[in-house]
A and B are shown apart, each in its own frame.
Chain A
Amino acid sequence: MNPALNSGLNSAVNAGMAPVATPWFFYVLAGLAVISGLLVITRRNAVHSALALIVTLLAVTGLYLMLYAPFVAAVQIFVYAGGIMLLFLFVIMLVNIERSSKDRQFNRMWPVGLAAACALLALFVSAFVKGKALFPDRMISLPESSNTQQIAGMLYGEAGKMGEYTFAFEIASLLLLVAILGAVIMTKKKI
């Protein structure tokens, strides 16, 4: 970890860093993420939604790479795009979508929901506008090359010591186990 706080706004062009992460990439990826996010919630056909969601996930993966978080990016591709989305596609194929895509798409409470979401958006906007000054306007350059090792150190511990998040990590694995059991029992026809 590099605790030096001297890197300024333009730390992406730091020494030793590849200057690949240009603003141009950011805008493309961000635009892709938001537009396909919009498609996710507007498409009639659930498979189209799922495909749009995959695009969103991949765009967000690109953003992670721009933030020098390669391990998180890899996990995102592996777990989200490869695993979870496959699960979604499977389920969409199992349930009868032909009928549901002809149905009414939005529930009766949609104006309320939309209003609530807009209120949330307003909250975000006001928070950003008011709080922008509070954010330290900086991007500290993290060493990309040792990112994975450091995350491993925090999760598993290093040099014989327990890591900061080792316990939480084990709990997470327990959570996954419970989820697996739950999903299997849920989908079995006869228990």
Chain B
Amino acid sequence: MNDSTRDDSNGALSNLDLETPEKPYLDSNELIINMGPQHPATHGVLRVILKLDGEKVLDTECVIGYLHRGVEKIAENRTYTMFNPYVDRMDYVAAVSNGLGYCEAVEKLMNVEAPARANYIRVILTELNRIASHQLWLGTHALDIGAMTPLFYTFRDREEILKIFERYCGARLTTHAFRIGGCQYETYAGFEKDVENFLTFVAPKIDEYEELLTTNRIWIERTKNVGVISAADAIALGVTGPVLRASGVKWDLRKAQPYAAYSEFDFDIPTGTNGDTYDRYLVRMAEMRQSLRIIEQAVNGIPEGPIMAKVPKIIKPPVGEIYHSIEAPKGELGYFIVSDGSTQPYRLRVRPPSFVNLQALDTMVRGLLVADVVAVIGTIDIVLGEVDR
């Protein structure tokens, strides 16, 4: 390769050893390539600098920030209510979860409890969104590995969820479904019916995805023992969500620190054993089924009552700080809010699951091939809007 050692990446950003070291035996194949920010498989604008020996990955470095909008700084200049829609723009494929985390954090700061009915609506919408998020993950992940067709199947079925969102709150993607203290909207007539229809509609569809992939030889060969991360490593890196559970750690905030109405439902936490890409796939597929179970219970047991707690018109939480986290589809989504008693947060910090999970990329892909990097980026399930905020 004629310019294999020429550094065309941004040297200032990179702490990789980009110069070929002086050694008696020259590795003529060492190659540094930029994967992204414009690349079909980096899910947006992630840039990964890969140091390759032939096709083997020797070292990686993620360069992020191409989608940075300063969400946390914006929060300092907006009232608590005004900031609520902004959180939807972080993980835009799971906007409902983001909203839930933020609303609950502020409620906790203000010592307000959302009413039971509001909590049930929250659970239903959040779990629907979890399914939507996992479906989108499955489609793009399969596309990264080369299976085109699942993408279209999952998008077809995700559409049904988005339709329910649209009927409920008028928006499909950035829903802004919840308010501090409860929900803005009462469920529309036929909401339960819609959700139940969806449950019967989507269960066979999940089987359909599994039929295409789970026992597919190529899929297994591409994902088994690829991107393995041990439980200890995963915990040390702060990895959460399906990625952690696939390594065999039974940690799910819905069970560990129940919020909303999750303590009232009966569901399992699927875990894997090997912590490889295939296990993460299986865990997410199982999670979709568990979400269906939760939604079914919630729809059947939804109580009557108010949907909004008593919240003052102008939200002024007392001085103090709070950290509240929920189990978003991608892992632990935490909000740390410092209040100085004014109408605006003094400081707001988000713990985005994608950002933390992305740390594990290097551990997972070292020694694998370029094609596996793509598979592993897909399996971590990052959304760049959330990584960069």
**A residues touching B (Cβ–Cβ < 8 Å)?**
93-98, 189
Contacts and interface: CB of A to CB of B under 8 A. Distances in A.
B300 interface: no
B28 A94 contact: yes
A95 B28 contact: yes
Q: Is the interface of A mostly helix, strand, loop or mixed?
A: helix
Contacts of A96: 1-2, 28
Contacts of A94: 1, 28-29
Given A94-B29, A97-B2, A189-B25, 4 more contacts: A96-B1, A96-B28, A98-B3, A189-B27
B2 A98 contact: yes
10 contacts: A93-B1, A94-B1, A94-B28, A94-B29, A95-B28, A96-B1, A96-B2, A96-B28, A98-B2, A189-B27
A175 B306 CA distance: 89
Nearest to A98: B2
B23 to A, nearest CB: 12
A12 B354 CA distance: 76
Interface of B: 1-3, 25, 27-29
A97 B1 CA distance: 8
Residue of B2, B28, B29 most packed against chain A (CB within 10 A) = B2
B115 to A, nearest CB: 68
A98 B27 CA distance: 17
Contacts of A93: 1
Contacts of A189: 25, 27
Nearest to B5: A96
Nearest to B53: A189
Contacts of B25: 189
A94 B53 CA distance: 12
A41 B28 CA distance: 26
A153 to B, nearest CB: 45
Nearest to A100: B2
Contacts of B28: 94-96
A94 B54 CA distance: 10
B195 to A, nearest CB: 58
B55 to A, nearest CB: 14
A184 B28 CA distance: 16
Contacts of A98: 2-3
